[in-house]
Amino acid sequence: MILTTCAACAAPLAHNAPRCVRCWTRYCDATCQHDHWRRGHKQMCKKIHRGGNAEQYNANKKYKEANRFIAALNLSVSLMHNFEHAEACVLTRKTISAAVLELGEDHETTLLLRHQLCQGLIRGGAQTRDDIADALESIIDAFKRFQRVFG
């Protein structure tokens, strides 16, 4: 995972941008580097360095976050196979909101969770008009996102 934005201000980086000597965290200029150091990079620098420097550390962190959500997705699938659709939907809704915050709206894992929610709403036998409307809205939203992300 190649980092392409400044760690302090999130501005796009030049290929030869300055970086931290120890952990190789990249910055757009020396001002951002000093500012980031004052805001707490000093405490994280050693941990990042031990984790394989900035790019490897961040790639590992993202991988661990995604795995946590995949575990929740697997649990939801198991609940569906046991015909516990309502419980699966509740779990999936909670997981989606956390996944959106941590991974982003268009991350593959978030989209898989949305797909799982749609299946739960349909298979669970929506009981009221609100349930049916929610299922339909979720399906349309998931379809649009899949189309936009995967073409």
Kindly indicate the confidence band of residue 49, based on its pLDDT and cuts at 50, 70 and 90: confident
Confidence of residue 101 (pLDDT cuts 50, 70, 90): confident
Q: In terms of domains, do 38 and 87 share one?
A: no
Which parts of 1-107 fold into alpha helices (H)?
Answer: 30-36, 42-50, 53-81, 85-102
Return the C-alpha torsion angle 71, 76, 79, 81, nearest 10: -100
**Total domains present in the chain:** 2
At residue 125, the pLDDT reads 63
Least reliable range by pLDDT among 10-24, 79-93, 130-144: 130-144
Task: Verify that 23 and 80 share a domain, yes or no.
Answer: no
Q: What is the residue range of 14's domain?
A: 1-50
* Mean pLDDT to the nearest integer, 22-42: 87
Instruction: Point out which residues pair with 5 in neighbouring strands.
Output: 12
State whether 80 and 29 are in the same domain: no
Task: Return the pLDDT at 2.
Answer: 65
Tell me the three state secondary structure of residue 107.
coil
Q: What is the mean pLDDT of the chain?
A: 81
CA distance 70 to 73: 5
What is the value of pTM for the model shown? 0.54
Does 142 share its domain with 68? yes
Q: Are residues 37 and 90 in the same domain?
A: no
Residue 1 has pLDDT above 60, yes or no: no
Both 37 and 84 in one domain: the answer is no
- Please, which pLDDT band fits residue 104 given cuts at 50, 70 and 90? confident
| Residues 78, 36 share a domain | no
pLDDT level of residue 127 (50, 70, 90 thresholds): low
Which residue has better confidence, 72 or 63? 72
Does residue 25 sit in the same domain as residue 76? Answer: no
Q: Are residues 84 and 10 in the same domain?
A: no
Residues 95 and 134 in one domain: yes
Q: Give the residue-averaged pLDDT of 107-127.
A: 78
Do residues 134 and 61 share a domain?
Answer: yes
| Cα 111 from Cα 151, distance rounded (Å) | 14
